[in-house]
Amino acid sequence: MNKVKKWLSNIVTIILFMILIVMLYVVISSKLSGGEPQAFGYELKTVLSGSMEPGIKTGSIIAVKPGGDMTRFTKGDVITFRSEDNVIVTHRITDVLKEGDQISYKTKGDNNKSGDLNSVPSYKVLAEYNGFTIPFLGYFADYTKSKMGGALLLIIPGLLLLAYSGISIWKAISQLEKKSKNSLGVDDTKNLGVDDTK
């Protein structure tokens, strides 16, 4: 039973430590890049509209791959682009338009009844979406961009880790005290036995 408790204790400590490291990374990378956090060559974007539901839920975080040849996309691909209103949008390509050397895309949100009004020139495409999404985490990620949210993101896991470490240390000290009391009791009995024999 004690081995199981110790094993679970170690797992909880590792998980809390990993959460702290990930949150530190998210905050620092987003502050350094001046925008969305990045990981392994992917950018993490927050989805705050339901235009791509049910595939991409409102409030999700999606990973998109920036860079490369932005004229490579075909019908059915999902791209992230900057719209005419300077808003970042992730929609599906419904048609590829070629005018000489220029390529642009007709796009539509999966949940929208009609396609987007303006076609998207390839130079306005920012990244490609490959299907990785985490539902509902976007609300939290969006909140962390505020000063208060960023501070809480660093403070809360740190406090949890500190509290858990304190509890672990207190338990270890209690067990050591118990063992020392028990060993003293056993030693005294043995000594008394030896003295009586003599």
Say how far apart CA 123 and CA 104 lie, in whole Å. Answer: 9
Q: Would you name the residues annotated as active-site residues?
A: 49
State the pLDDT at residue 120. Answer: 96
* Collapsed DSSP state (helix, strand, coil) of residue 45: strand
Please name which of 39, 189, 47 lies closest in space to residue 111, comparing C-alpha atoms.
47
Angle (nearest 5°) at CA 23 between 130 and 63: 5
79 pLDDT exceeds 80?
yes
**pLDDT confidence of residue 60:** 86
The pTM assigned to this predicted structure is: 0.59
Cis peptide before 37 (omega within 30 of 0): no
Q: Which CATH code for domain 37-145?
A: 2.10.109.10
Domain ranges of the chain: 1-35+147-176, 37-145
Contact 111, 53 (CB under 8 A): yes
Lowest mean pLDDT: which of 48-62, 138-152, 184-198? Answer: 184-198
What share of the chain in percent tops pLDDT 90?
33
**pLDDT band at 147; cut points 50, 70, 90:** low
Ranges of H-type helices in 55-111: none
